[in-house]
Amino acid sequence: MRGEAGLPPVDMSVKVGPLALPSPVLVGSGTFGFGEEYAPYCDLARLGAIVTKAVTLRPREGNPGPRIWETAAGMLNAIGLQNPGLERFLAEKLPPLVAAGHVVIVNIAGHDVEEYVKLAGALDAAKGVAAIEVNVSCPNVSRGGIEFGRDPAVLGELVRAVRGATRLPLIVKLSPNVSDIVPLAAAAMEAGADALSLINTLLGMAIDARQRRPRLANVTGGLSGPAIKPVALRMVWQVWQALRPPIIGMGGIMTGEDAAEFMLAGAAAVAVGTANFVDPTSASRVAAELEDFCRGQRINHVSELTGGLQV
């Protein structure tokens, strides 16, 4: 239906807190590398922003393999934050993205508050970073983020510290592995977050019954993909109902209609993650399909969808 005669164009620009984006469709951290791998397949110009793989202060090797395993309508991953580290990120990965004109959101992860603060400070000083996404939920590194994301007080402390280190828009990416997501969302917002990303992966596990061994060398891993969409939608809706914060929704988005569902539940923008692996054109396709969806529904501005669920 795109370009159908007589129908007005859809305004796809959105605001996620202080962050103005040309499109509500982003990519999920860790599912799009640093952008370069998908450039041959996906029209990056259609994306609201490119969210990088988690960057840590020092380079990380990541976990041994096997690191991934397919599950029913989903996949487990235990990459273990493999990344070249802050220095090489700033020198090698960031400049080409900025030069190409992309909005770049940098996902960061650390072992302790100090590391997060250093990362945020360095990115604040760098050229071309549009926002920082704080990963407080990566379930794969034993001393990693997961504790931050499970306790409102601990989370608040972290976010307050990072907030003090940067004037960039601050997005906090929450873990879904909690009893109640709302107090964590509230703690992050009160501590100065500008927006929330919901959700990171669910902690899961797979077993090779014949070998009697876990499928992942790390034993457990993060579950993503269509399998988790119902949980992700529920959390976005719960947080939206309680707090009305700016939300970037994600978890199993495969189509433009999936994206619309997240926006109706309360998301201001969405991210396409695992879908990129299934169809390398996913991110731009979802953006195009969302635009078509709006056109079909006589919606002039995509942001009208946000929180539009009738309950």
Q: Catalytic positions, please?
A: 138
> Using the rule CB under 8 A, which residue among 30, 84, 110, 226 binds its own copies?
226
Binding residues among 262-281 for its own copies as defined by CB under 8 A: 264-265
Which residues 6+ apart lie within 8 Å of 220 measured at CB? 76, 78, 139, 140, 203, 204, 205, 214
Binding residues among 164-183 for its own copies as defined by CB under 8 A: 177-180
Task: Indicate the burial class of 164 (C-beta count within 10 angstroms; 0-12, 13-18, 19 or more).
Answer: exposed
Measured distance CA(196)–CA(244) in Å, rounded:
11
The reply to whether 121 sits near another protein by the rule CB under 8 A is: no
Structure tokens at 211: 């070998």
The reply to whether 60 sits near ligand FMN by the rule CB under 6 A is: no
The reply to whether 1 sits near its own copies by the rule CB under 8 A is: no
The reply to whether 260 sits near its own copies by the rule CB under 8 A is: yes
The reply to whether 137 sits near another protein by the rule CB under 8 A is: no
Measured distance CA(201)–CA(35) in Å, rounded:
21
- Scanning 56-64, 79-87, 121-129, 253-261 for contacts with its own copies by CB under 8 A, the matching segment is 253-261
CA dihedral 306, 304, 250, 147 (to 10 degrees): -30
Measured distance CA(107)–CA(224) in Å, rounded:
17
220 or 281: whose CB is closer to its own copies? Answer: 220
CB of residue 272 to ligand FMN, shortest distance in Å? 6
Task: Indicate the burial class of 118 (C-beta count within 10 angstroms; 0-12, 13-18, 19 or more).
Answer: middle
Which of another protein, ligand FMN, its own copies, none does residue 234 bind to, with CB < 5 to 8 Å depending on kind? its own copies
Binding residues among 55-74 for its own copies as defined by CB under 8 A: 71-74
Binding residues among 235-274 for another protein as defined by CB under 8 A: 254, 274
Which of its own copies, another protein, ligand FMN, none does residue 153 bind to, with CB < 5 to 8 Å depending on kind? none
Residue 268: count of CB within 10 angstroms of its CB: 26
Which of another protein, ligand FMN, its own copies, none does residue 138 bind to, with CB < 5 to 8 Å depending on kind? ligand FMN
Task: DSSP letter for 10, please.
Answer: P
Site string for ligand FMN, 86-115 (x = CB under 6 A): ---------------------x--------
161 or 206: whose CB is closer to another protein? Answer: 206
Closest CA to 11 of 266, 303, 257: 303
The amino acid at residue 106 is V
Which residues 6+ apart lie within 8 Å of 121 measured at CB? 165, 166
Closest CA to 269 of 241, 248, 244, 239: 248
> Using the rule CB under 8 A, which residue among 26, 51, 56, 69 binds another protein?
69
Q: Which residues bind ligand FMN (CB under 6 A)?
A: 28-31, 53-54, 77, 79, 107, 135, 138, 173, 200-201, 224-225, 228, 250-253, 273-275
Q: Which residues bind another protein (CB under 8 A)?
A: 30-33, 37-38, 40-41, 53, 61-62, 64-70, 72-75, 77, 79, 82, 225-227, 254, 274, 276-281
